[in-house]
Amino acid sequence: QVQVVESGGGLVQPGGSLRLSCAASGSIPTMNTMAWYRQAPGKERELVAAITSGGGTNYGDSVKGRFTISRDNAKNMVYLEVNNLKPEDTAVYYCQVRGYYNSFQKFEVWGQGTLVTVSS
């Protein structure tokens, strides 16, 4: 059974930083993408950052220059370093793992989310 679990969220003041972690377990395709999405109250879920098993990265426009995504392939873990946090960064942050077992079988699993609250 594949499982994705996030941790590291909490309350932080504007300008502060956090390190979010995501651990994936189970049968995961060797070639995959691990990503962070977030959803604020009353807003649509949006891409924060993504990283492939080969190390390629992509960031959402709202976080470019402030957030950094990284991964540990051996441990099937992905991290998100969030810096210079703003109140508008307040959201539930979700981890996603996706890939393909073959040409017809897609793999996509979401974690339960971890809450980041930015407030003074």
37-85 per-position pLDDT tens digit:
999 999 999 999 999 999 999 999 989 899 999 999 889 999 999 999 9
pLDDT digits (tens, 9 = 90+) for 84-106: 999 999 999 999 999 988 888 88
Q: What are phi and psi of 18, to 5 degrees?
A: -145, 160
